[in-house]
Chains A and B, each alone.
Chain A
Amino acid sequence: MVGEDFVSMIPAAPSEIWFGEVNGQKKEVIAKSNSILLDVLRDKAGCLGVKRGCDMGTCGCCTVMIDGEPRLSCLTMAHDVSGCKITTVEGLSDGSHLAPIQQCFADYGGSQCGFCTPGFLVASQALLDKNPDPSEKEIACAIEGNLCRCTGYQQIIQSIQAAAAIHRGDAEAVASNNAAHSDPHPSGPEI
């Protein structure tokens, strides 16, 4: 584009191709020049797990990883990150087996209404990828851009600490009560 005589006189956003590797899958969509990454992910790439809470960078619900780094997709121009690797909450799990961070959020009450959860999960996974042994202060700094109205953060911090222990290998991932693991028909008392 540069160098051509491109200046248009009417304010209109031209469409361009946006591409990216979203959760390990190559995506190519047509998006207007002025598109915001959040809108592209939700409306074009089908990542409805990325949530829109405030649209202004003040709630963190839309946090996604861009090349491994947690970023606010509502404050990112889509075309500025064209070609990047993007991980959303949908990309955290291994197949449909929960990642430790997801399992721990479920087990330790880190998620109540769940709307802020995708943002928290991405922000904390990014932290654990870099630092599997974060202090409470470091965890707080990593999630200071995420707003949760339900939990009061305390159980979120506990969830992250528990997931960190699994990442370090200090603890094993244990299926929680609500993971399907039993047969409905036992043969008798275990004696």
Chain B
Amino acid sequence: MMLMPPFELHRPKSISDACDIAAKLLASGQEFDWIAGGTDLIPNYKWHINSKPHVISLAGIDGLSTISMTEIGCMARLHDIAESGEAHPLVAEAASKVASSLIRRNATLGGNLCLDTRCFWFNQTEEWRSSIDWCHKCDCGTGADCRVIPNQNELCVATYQGDVAPTLMVLDAHVHLIGPNGERKIPISEFYKLDGMTRNVLEPGEFMLRVTMPEDIENWIGAYRKLRIRDSWDFPEAGAAAAWLKGDRSTLRVATTALESIPRRHDDEVAESNGDVKAICDAIFRTTKPVNNTALPPRYRRNMIKVLVKRACEDPL
């Protein structure tokens, strides 16, 4: 069996309890992780990757699973988002393509948005990683170098492989975060921070509450295209979402995922292309540089982004 590392699981019943526990752990200098559905954290913990002595579960908190056109709670399960018919079709579509139907019954929106970045030098057992002398993202105190791009230990280039984030980006969603210092709301495009280790703007003790979308969201249409070898289990090797106001292509927005350490909205590329889809594809191709750390080679993934963006822009749900 793959043995879990030792940690204490805390199961707060309310948001304030959760914040209290986090604050206490912070105050005593204890490290901890949040766990929602567990489909990302548990495999990593079983591999003894960056495990912490405390884990706070959000599963016991009621009221975080709302699903509506304009609001989705962070504990809403991907299965429910995909199946309930309440969420925006674009978000539902992306959720329905995550991993497998069984995993989606555990996985949550919050977990998917806060997904740890992935890399085949990193998502391995402890024994395996020790045999390559660790890597930058989990160096076990050795100061190990990045294995993807050697001789640089500044930036972690592990890949963000979440499916839902790009769809929320093109729908202009906001994320609501809460922590010991109170609640805040930021655009999801600003939630991610370019580094495979930092990943996002969550402060210590902070966690995601919900995602909200603009009032007119019903009038937006679009598509999400995912590249993967198998139609089950696989993370995206590349993904593209596009959305626009029905009947108004000038509002086109495009975002991509699984190409870099963060998902990214491509407003500049869209703007400079004057709505020409091929020009947008080429522009995004130029500005995106995947690295070799997922199943398929980066050159292929980079080229595929042209196909995915084109299909997302031209073939709405």
Contact = CB atoms under 8 A, between A and B. Distances in A.
* Contact, chains A and B (beta carbon distance below 8 A): yes
Interface of A: 1-3, 5, 7-14, 33-36, 39, 52, 55-58, 60, 63, 69-72, 74-77, 79-80, 123, 141-146
B35 interface: yes
A13 B101 contact: no
Contact of A77 (B2, B35, B101): B35
Top 7 A-B residue pairs of the complex, sorted by shortest distance between their CB atoms: A145-B102, A145-B100, A11-B53, A144-B232, A55-B2, A33-B9, A80-B59
B39 interface: yes
A77 to B, nearest CB: 6
Contacts of A141: 101
Given A76-B38, A141-B101, A142-B101, A34 B55 contact: yes
B28 A7 contact: yes
Contacts of B35: 77
B24 A145 contact: no
Given A57-B102, A72-B103, A3 B57 contact: no
B8 interface: yes
A182 to B, nearest CB: 41
A80 to B, nearest CB: 4
Given A11-B7, A13-B6, A71-B106, A145 B233 contact: yes
27 contacts: A2-B12, A7-B28, A7-B54, A12-B6, A13-B6, A34-B4, A34-B7, A34-B8, A35-B4, A36-B4, A39-B1, A55-B46, A56-B46, A57-B102, A69-B105, A71-B102, A71-B106, A72-B39, A72-B106, A76-B38, A77-B35, A79-B57, A80-B57, A123-B102, A143-B101, A144-B100, A144-B101
A1 B20 CA distance: 12
B231 A34 contact: no
Contacts of B46: 55-56
A82 B106 CA distance: 15
Nearest to A52: B1
Interface string B166-191: 00000000000000000000000000
Contacts of B232: 144-145
Contacts of A56: 2, 43, 46
B43 A57 contact: yes
A118 to B, nearest CB: 13
Contact of A7 (B6, B30, B103): B30
A34 B42 CA distance: 10
Interface string B92-120: 00000001111101100000000000000
B103 A57 contact: yes
B10 A1 contact: yes
B223 to A, nearest CB: 20
A69 B101 CA distance: 11
Given A7-B24, A123-B102, A79 B1 contact: no
Nearest to A8: B8
A3 B38 CA distance: 24
Nearest to B7: A34
Contacts of B25: 7
A68 to B, nearest CB: 11
B7 A2 contact: no
B21 interface: yes
Contacts of B59: 77, 80
A7 B24 CA distance: 8
Given A13-B7, A55-B2, A145-B100, 5 more contacts: A8-B53, A13-B6, A33-B9, A80-B11, A123-B102
Contact of B233 (A11, A58, A75, A80): A58
A14 B39 contact: no
Nearest to A71: B105
Interface in B228-253: 231-233
Contact of A70 (B5, B43, B102): B102
B10 A77 contact: no
A71 B290 CA distance: 34
Interface string B8-37: 111111000100110011001010000101
B85 interface: no
A75 B7 contact: no
Contacts of B11: 1, 79-80
A34 B6 contact: yes
Contacts of B21: 2
Nearest to A74: B42
